[in-house]
Structure 1
Amino acid sequence: MRTIGNTIAEQGGASVSGTVTKGSIIARIERLPANAMQVRARILIGAATFFDGFDVITIAATLPLLIQKWGLTPGQVGFLIASGSIGQLIGAFLFPSLAERYGRVRAIAWSSGIIGLTSIACGFAPTFAVFVALRIVQGLGLGGELPVAATYINEITRAHGRGRFVLLYEIVFPIGLLASNALGAWIVPRFGWEAMYFIGGVPLVLFFLLRVLVPESPRWLGERERMADADRALNAFEASVKGPLPPVKDVAEFEAMVHRHPKRRMADLFGRAYIKRTVAVALLWMTCGVIQYGLSTWLPTIYKTVYHAPLQLALNLAVAASVLGVLGSLTCALIVDKVGRKPVINLSFVLCAVSLVLAGVFHTQSVYVVATFCALALGFMACGFITAYVYTPELYPTSIRAFGCGLGGAWLKIAAIFAPALVGKTLVGGNLDMAFYLLAAVPVLAAVAVHFLGIETKGKVLEQLEA
């Protein structure tokens, strides 16, 4: 029986002497078949990502009652929605920086603890001001968890089938969005808005479990020259493989690949080597922020106030949009390794824009017509959004990967701060169609940027993609 402490030689390691190098770490990851430790990591970190999605969109299900409870104006509503994004913007820089210094798993555990603790506190918030303050603090964790988790899952996965593996993990985020909307539609009318935030406190448990049950990223450990720790982490994955391990191959090739490029610093994200990728990433994530926060968060309120739909119907229609988001994400996960990252992103964003234009054209029709086009837009957007989580980590080397992903997440949060206010302002002016048209222009711009500035990454080892 294998144990975590097995040596490289016992595992069919990289060399006879058992020396661990950056090249041998990559070679051992690339020979890893699917294994129980990867499944465990995907489940536990997936739980963190699930509740990230759950807590992000909880505000949509509870917003109508919060407006009523505190008599909020449209401006206050916009600020409430944006307040979480302010914290998320800070978190998108803070936790990737912590991940580069202290490790991916620690950063994910810390962010999960903040998410869970502040969610519970939100349920007890006595005033609007306290609630907003707690949402800002919670945003630190919400903004930091996703980019670090995406980085980790990419780093423990081999090139073959990486898109499918990562996206089948990332699908838990839109499932979290769906669960929040679905549970919100049932729980909020029956038990009040507070119950949703108590449920959102579950990630606090992950703070205690993750560092005990999930190994650190071997790639990150190797980059930090912690070769013995990288060996132990790899042993944890290798020990969970059923049956004999395939032989380690191409160590010399991977070794040369590692040393072919200089170690990168954060400033290189804006240097000659990576600036085109960084611009494409910025517009990609901005689109996700504009559509997700500028449209999805407002939908129940739009249906209730503009189309005078009952609260239950407004919440149910939002759930339907989340269902399409999950279906779109699942479809994307199944085809992304065959079609490629860029075609999936570009086509999904163009179709999202078309759906939003149609929602604007037919905005005077019934709530069901508008809800259908909005649901389609969110479904198509979800395809591009989830692909961003496999595509962005592939564009940067290990030394700046988490921060590159965090920077992408920061652009999402910047968009999320301003998009709700834009929609709120157009609602006050009665220009709902103009809001749809403005929202539609954003994914078109992103599709153009990804097409001309991005690179295709499918099927390549992460180190092959370094500039």
Structure 2
Amino acid sequence: LLFSLGSGLSALTTTLAAFLALRFLIGMGLGGELPVASTLVSEAVPAKDRGRVVVLLESFWAGGWLLAALISYFVIPAYGWRTALWLAAIPALYAIYLRLRLPDSPRFAAVRKEETVWKNIVHVWSAPYRKETVMLWLLWFCVVFSYYGMFLWLPSVMVMKGFSLIKSFEYVLIMTLAQLPGYFSAAWLIERAGRKFVLVAYLLGTALSAYFFGTAESLVGLMASGIFLSFFNLGAWGALYAYTPEQYPTSIRATGAGMAAAFGRIGGIFGPLLVGSLVAQGVSVTAIFTLFCLAVLVAVLSVAVLGKETKQQELA
């Protein structure tokens, strides 16, 4: 509800302050929705199918990206940004309609809810779960930092490399299409090769693609590296959402997943701001994308060293 109201009302604003206030509301809605959705599905699906189903759930993020890219390409030039924001509110309102009949988590319903929110937050950092929490916070920060830093700037980076804005939207749309096979391949692999393998492999693919995208000069090089960047990065995102809720017991699962995602959003704030700052200082696109490559490698190390395999394990 917060997300859809913020999207629709943003189209009515006439000042930057009002627009930013409503974008803040949208962020609250999105930030609260994502970890709860993945936790709810994790607790409702049998262990043998849980990873695959959660990754497929997250694949609809790519569907939204594709729709947003199409609106950017076709609607904004002809009808303006306000129309685009009104359209963005419609799917969220439909989601509210669907949620009216959605049952709550059977696992959560079976747990006596005696602990307060603050006790749950402290529990996430208690000795039995401290290692998992450190791993997840590092992983989320680096993934969200690099994702928003790279993908929010993709059209602008294409412009910096000599293409028109309309052409940039077109190329980004093509790159975005690669997100879907990235998700689907991760969904296929995650119950066969395991969570750690998928995360490490797809994050390594993300790091290499980011480096080559930053160094590419030709259109073929940019498109190829951009397609691989979308493929691997969004496949890693799907595995991340499947992996995160499995680190905690039911009593603190959503709290732990939400806190990790929230810490990651700090990276999502700094990533795009850092790109803008570095561009203003004349830092090259190559150097900027190399920085994101290194951030993703830190995420790889956190999973490889601190992570545990949770494939087909029953939730605690």
* Both proteins in one fold, TM over 0.5: yes
How far apart are residue 182 of structure 1 and its match?
Answer: 2.4
Residue 210 of structure 1 pairs with residue 87 of structure 2:
no
CA contact (8 A) 2:120 2:255 kept: no
Residue 324 of structure 1 pairs with residue 173 of structure 2:
no
How far apart are residue 181 of structure 1 and its match?
Answer: 1.2
Question: What is the letter of the counterpart of residue 293 of structure 2?
Answer: A
Alignment partner, residue 269 of structure 1: 124
Alignment of 1:53-452 (within 5 A): 113-202=1-90, 203-211=92-100, 213-224=101-112, 265-304=120-159, 306-362=160-216, 365-428=217-280, 429-452=282-305
Give the 3 Å change call, closer, same or farther, for CA 209–348 of structure 1 in structure 2.
closer
Residues in 2 aligned to 1:274 and 1:300: alpha-carbon distance in whole angstroms: 40
CA contact (8 A) 1:291 1:378 kept: no
Alignment partner, residue 36 of structure 1: none
Residues in 2 aligned to 1:327 and 1:307: alpha-carbon distance in whole angstroms: 27
**Secondary structure at the counterpart of residue 265 of structure 1:** helix
TM-score (norm 2): 0.93
Unpaired runs of at least 5, structure 1: 1-112, 227-263
**Secondary structure at the counterpart of residue 161 of structure 1:** helix
Question: What is the letter of the counterpart of residue 404 of structure 1?
Answer: G
> Can you list the C-alpha shifts for 1:125-169, whole angstroms capped at 9, x where unaligned?
112222111101111001110000000000111111211122122
> Can you list the C-alpha shifts for 1:360-400, whole angstroms capped at 9, x where unaligned?
333xx134423432332232111111111110011111111
Identity of paired residues, percent? Answer: 31
How far apart are residue 301 of structure 1 and its match?
Answer: 1.7
CA contact (8 A) 1:352 1:440 kept: yes
Q: Which has the higher helix share?
A: 2
Q: Which has more radius of gyration?
A: 1
> Can you list the C-alpha shifts for 1:299-354, whole angstroms capped at 9, x where unaligned?
112212x1232222110111122111221011101111001000000011111111
**Secondary structure at the counterpart of residue 48 of structure 2:** coil
How far apart are residue 426 of structure 1 and its match?
Answer: 2.0
CA contact (8 A) 1:356 1:377 kept: yes
Matched residue count = 310
Residues in 2 aligned to 1:130 and 1:393: alpha-carbon distance in whole angstroms: 35
Residues in 2 aligned to 1:219 and 1:385: alpha-carbon distance in whole angstroms: 25
Alignment of 1:21-36 (within 5 A): none
How far apart are residue 191 of structure 1 and its match?
Answer: 1.5
Question: What is the letter of the counterpart of residue 446 of structure 1?
Answer: A
Unpaired runs of at least 5, structure 2: none
TM-score (norm 1): 0.64
Residues in 2 aligned to 1:158 and 1:403: alpha-carbon distance in whole angstroms: 21
**Secondary structure at the counterpart of residue 456 of structure 1:** coil
Question: What is the letter of the counterpart of residue 274 of structure 1?
Answer: Y
How far apart are residue 225 of structure 1 and its match?
Answer: 6.7
Residues in 2 aligned to 1:291 and 1:225: alpha-carbon distance in whole angstroms: 36
Q: Which of 1 and 2 has higher RCO (CA within 8 Å, sep 6+)?
A: 2
How far apart are residue 449 of structure 1 and its match?
Answer: 0.9
Residues in 1 aligned to 2:214 and 2:158: alpha-carbon distance in whole angstroms: 14
How far apart are residue 431 of structure 1 and its match?
Answer: 1.7
> Can you list the C-alpha shifts for 1:397-428, whole angstroms capped at 9, x where unaligned?
11111111111211221001101111112222
Question: What is the letter of the counterpart of residue 218 of structure 2?
Answer: S
